[in-house]
Amino acid sequence: MSGPLDGLLVVDLSRALAGPQAGMMLGDLGARVIKVESPGGDDTRSWGPPFVRADDGTPESTYFLCCNRNKESITLDLKRAEDAQVLDQLVRRADVLLENYRPGTLRRLGFGTERLMELNPRLVVLSISGFGHDGPEAHRAGYDQIAQGEAGLMSLTGPDPDHPQRVGVPIADLLAGMNGAFGVLAALRERDRTGRGQIVRTSLLASVVAAHAFQGTRWTVARELGSAQGNHHPTISPYGLFRCAGGSVQIACGNDAMWLRLCAAFGLAADDPRYATNADRVANRDGLTALLASTFGDIEPDELLRRLADAGIPAGRVRSLDEVYAWEQTRSQRLLVDVEHERLGKVSLPGSALRTFAVDATGAETETTRVDHRPPPVLGADADTVRDWLAGPVPVRGVPVTSDSAAHSTTSGDAV
C-alpha cells in the first residue's frame, strides 16, 4: 500500500505551511518527497510553544510536525556553489519541484524557470506566493492572517461586522497547499500526454478568493455585500448554533420539508406565515432563533440530538479537539496516523483526508490507502542517504513527444 504516486520524486524547497502542506499531500499519496532546508531549518521548526522535548532535551515544534510527514530532509545553502550543484542533481532527477519564495527569489539564486527547464524539461514546478506572481502587489510577503484579511474572509467571520475574526486554523495556507497539489496532479497528467513539464502557480490570495463560494456570487451577481453574523447561515434558516439546557447543538434545515418535520417534532406552528418558506425564515431569522431557543431551553443536548435525529433533522454537537481525536468515527476514517519519530518516539498525527480503494470485477473493494508513513524528519537527517543516491546514475527519462502520443515518466523515485 505505497500509494498511487509511488515512483514520483518531489523536491520540496518550500517552508512554513502552504508549500509543505502540498508536499505532504503528495507524500501521503506515495511520492518520495525530499525536503531541502536552509542550514537553519524551516521557519516552523522554531514556531512555538508548544514544543515537545525529546529525552535529550531537544525541542521539536508541533507546528513543524503538522505538515512534514512522509519527507526526507537535507540542508543546502543555495548561495554556495557546491550546494547549488546538489540541487542541480536533484532537479535532474525530480518529477516535481515545490517552492514558495517571494516571486523572483529563486531566479536570483540561479534557478529561474529557464534554468529549471534546461535541467529537466519534464519537470513540474509548483510555485506558491502570497498575492500572485504578477500584478501591482506581487512583491508582498504572504502570511496567512494577512491574506485572510486582505482576501475578505475576516469580514465574513466573527460575531458581527464590527468584530472581524480570523479562522481558527491557517486556512489561506492550507487552501493554497491543497490547490497547489491539485494543480501538480493536473500538470503531471498533461505531461503524460505531451512529455513536457509545466509551471503551476497559485497564491494565498487566489486560494481564499476562489473559496468565497456563495458569498462571492452574492456580491458579484446580486450586489449584496456579505458580512459577519456569527453562527447562523446568511441564506438558510434555521441553520446554525442553538442554545439548549446545559449546552448547545447545531441544526441545518436545508429545505422546507425539513422545516415541517422540525415543526412536527417540537410542536411548532407549521402554518405560521413568517416561516413558511426559507426566504421567509431568513427574513425573520431573529424571531425564529428566539423561538427555537425557547423551545429547546429545557432539553439537554443529548436528548435534543436524539429527537432531532428521530425527526430526520441534520444536527450535531460542537466538539473540542480532544473529543474529536477520541471519537471513534474520526479513528475509523484513518484521521490519526502513528509514526515513530527519531527523537520523540511514537507520536500521533492528524491524517490525510483521502482514502483510496481498488475495485475488482465483482465490485469488491480493497483499501490501498498508504499506511506506512514516515515521521516528520529531523533537520538534515537524510543528507547522507540523499547524497549517496545522487552519486549514482541519473535515471533514463522518456523523450518529449507530441500531444498526440503518450509519454510516461520513468524516474524513480508560511511566509511565501
Catalytically active residues are 173
- Under DSSP, the state recorded for 232 is B
Distant-in-sequence, close-in-space partners of 50: CB < 8 Å, separation ≥ 6:
62
Is it true that the peptide bond before 50 is cis, omega within 30 degrees of 0?
A: yes
Query: What is the dihedral sign for C-alpha 381, 144, 198, 370?
Result: positive
**What cell was used for 279?**
426566504
Q: How far apart are CA 64 and CA 248, in angstroms?
A: 34
Residue with cell 446545559: 246
- How far, in Å, are 39, 332, 384 from residue 29 at the CA level? 28, 19, 25
How many Cβ atoms from other residues are within 10 Å of residue 272's Cβ?
A: 15
Q: How far apart are CA 136 and CA 193, in angstroms?
A: 35
- Under DSSP, the state recorded for 396 is P
The pairing of strands 32-37 and 365-367 is unpaired
User: What CA dihedral angle connects 13, 17, 18 and 21, to 10 degrees?
Assistant: 80
Distant-in-sequence, close-in-space partners of 223: CB < 8 Å, separation ≥ 6:
none
User: What CA dihedral angle connects 86, 89, 94 and 100, to 10 degrees?
Assistant: 40
Q: How far apart are CA 254 and CA 270, in angstroms?
A: 16
Q: How far apart are CA 177 and CA 181, in angstroms?
A: 6
The alpha carbon of 416 is separated from its chain's Cα centroid by a whole number of angstroms, namely 16
The pairing of strands 9-12 and 357-359 is unpaired
Is it true that the peptide bond before 49 is cis, omega within 30 degrees of 0?
A: yes
DSSP-based three-state secondary structure for 113: helix
**What cell was used for 214?**
456563495
